[in-house]
Amino acid sequence: MATSTSGWTERGAGTRAIAEAEKPAPLDAAAVRRDFPILDQAVDGRPLVYLDNAASSQKPRQVVDAIGMYYLRDHANVHRGVHELARRATEAYESARERVAIWLNAAGPHELIWTRGASEALNLVAFSLGMARVGQGDEIVISEMEHHSNLVPWQLLAERNGATLRYVGLTDNGHLDLDHMATLLGRRTRIVSLPHVSNALGTINPVRDIAALVREHSGAVYILDGAQAAPHLPVDVQALGCDFYAFSGHKMCGPTGIGGLWGRRPLLEEMPPYQGGGEMIEHVYPDRSTWAEVPHKFEAGTPNIAGAVGLGAAVDYLDNVGLAAIHEHESALTRRAITLLAGVEGLRILGPAETEERAGVVPFVMEGVSAQDVATILDTQGIAVRAGHHCAQLVVDRYGVAATTRASFYLYNTLEEVDRLAEGVKTARRILYG
Ligand code: C6P
């Protein structure tokens, strides 16, 4: 199906501008919770408190229903058939792309490539654009704040092409050290790839200011890992000043196995395909092939159609609640969590200070005890958190700890749940300190 782009930018930009200008009405978490039946259950006799949202969010009924209805009514393969179901499936798949592209304020749906998630999106840029643009002696700038999905692909690329990885250091408060960053940028810098929000610290990075820094000091392509930002903050990819933006559906109320890579069209046009197969070609000859238009050039094989439909429904859901309201709500939960946890003796919270803005991620360590033990004791009280390095090994190394226990919030969490967390941590402390 050809997706119409006429009037597209105005529509997308207008919606976002209005949403940002208004002060959001407070979020009604009790009403939101009714859309998430999974939350209404007991674990070990205690009401479940789900605080592992940075790993994966829960799904509202509306998303599950959209996927169910798609399979029960409309499923066929896309872009291939002339029959009614093929038409409907293609329409559902491409309108989900348009929906999510508008949500990101892309210049058009062709700028959004469906991927399995943020990891695949980042691998796609590294092995398509990176292989073509990064050579011997070139430099790639990332940071000590990276999730491994925005680190290992660049390591692999650097090894293969003889490039050097440079790491932006972190301040004691969990921020990117921008003075250090300025010293790393130069004429050999081909790629700068950074997280919009840190999954291990909760830091919201000043990505617009960084865009200006990158442009001032280098001609690098600027990539943002938005896995922890897109679910929680209004994202306008054009205003951010980046060239690529990667995200995962399952962290933003959508299903697993779907996510996306937004990219500027001229760069996407320039990039070679990432994988070969059906649907990504224009013509195949015995000795060569020519490629389909973007974004299809990057979508080999039968795609995750139901996943795209579910992600479109998730974006509808988040837009209905309002991203600005979600962010305000999470900020209130985070402030309360930091205040309560800071009062627990021997407990250290990583990341920006209580008074600073940060995303709803609160990693902490209890002196002398293992982060896993704390998480296990919390689990016995029905509280789900994650413990470990959170696939961000350089972060825990930087702050001299082996692992952290991490609570992460989303739109359905409540202040009462934060209180349960704080009580649970105090109980863990009593048990572990004996
Ligand atoms: N972080 C966490 O518990 P995937 O797995 O492809 O959906 O997302 C990868 C990813 C990339 N960047 C950031 C900043 C992330 O936080 C994640 C996923 C989860 O923190 C699982 S390790």
| Long-range contacts formed by 207-214: CB under 8 A, 24+ apart | 207/240, 207/241, 207/242, 208/239, 208/240, 208/241, 209/178, 210/176, 210/178, 210/181, 211/240, 211/241, 211/242, 212/241, 213/178, 213/181, 213/182, 213/185, 214/185
Pocket of ligand 1 (CB under 6 A): 54-55, 117-119, 147, 149-150, 195, 199, 225, 227-228, 248, 386, 390-391
- Amino acid 22: pLDDT: 63
Distances (CA, A) of 280 to 121, 274, 288: 16, 10, 13
CA–CA separation, 187 and 194 (whole Å) = 19
CA–CA separation, 142 and 194 (whole Å) = 6
- Give CA angle at 34 (70, 381), nearest 5°: 115
pTM strictly above 0.75: yes
CA of 39 to the centre of ligand 1 (A): 22
- Give CA angle at 291 (289, 293), nearest 5°: 165
Whether residue 253 lies in the annotated active site: no
Q: What string of DSSP letters covers 283-320? A: EE-SS-EEEPPTTGGG--SS--HHHHHHHHHHHHHHHH
Q: Is 340 helix (H, G, I), strand (E, B) or coil?
A: helix
- Amino acid 354: pLDDT: 78
Please tell me the residue having the least CA distance from ligand 1 atom 17.
227
CA–CA separation, 291 and 284 (whole Å) = 9
Q: Is 256 helix (H, G, I), strand (E, B) or coil?
A: coil
CA–CA separation, 64 and 246 (whole Å) = 23
- Amino acid 16: pLDDT: 43
| Encoded tokens for 9 | 């930018």
Residue 53: closest CA among 329, 366, 373, 371? 329
Ligand 1: which atom is nearest the Cα of residue 259? Answer: 7
> Which is the catalytic residue, given 156, 281, 391, 432?
391
> What angle in degrees, to the nearest 10, is found between the helix axes of 61-69 and 305-321?
150
CA of 305 to the centre of ligand 1 (A): 22
CA–CA separation, 395 and 54 (whole Å) = 16
pLDDT along the chain (434 residues), means of 10: 35 39 84 98 96 98 98 96 95 98 98 98 98 97 98 98 98 98 98 98 98 98 98 98 98 98 98 96 97 97 98 98 97 97 96 90 97 98 98 98 98 98 98 92
CA–CA separation, 287 and 306 (whole Å) = 35
Ligand 1: which atom is nearest the Cα of residue 256? Answer: 7
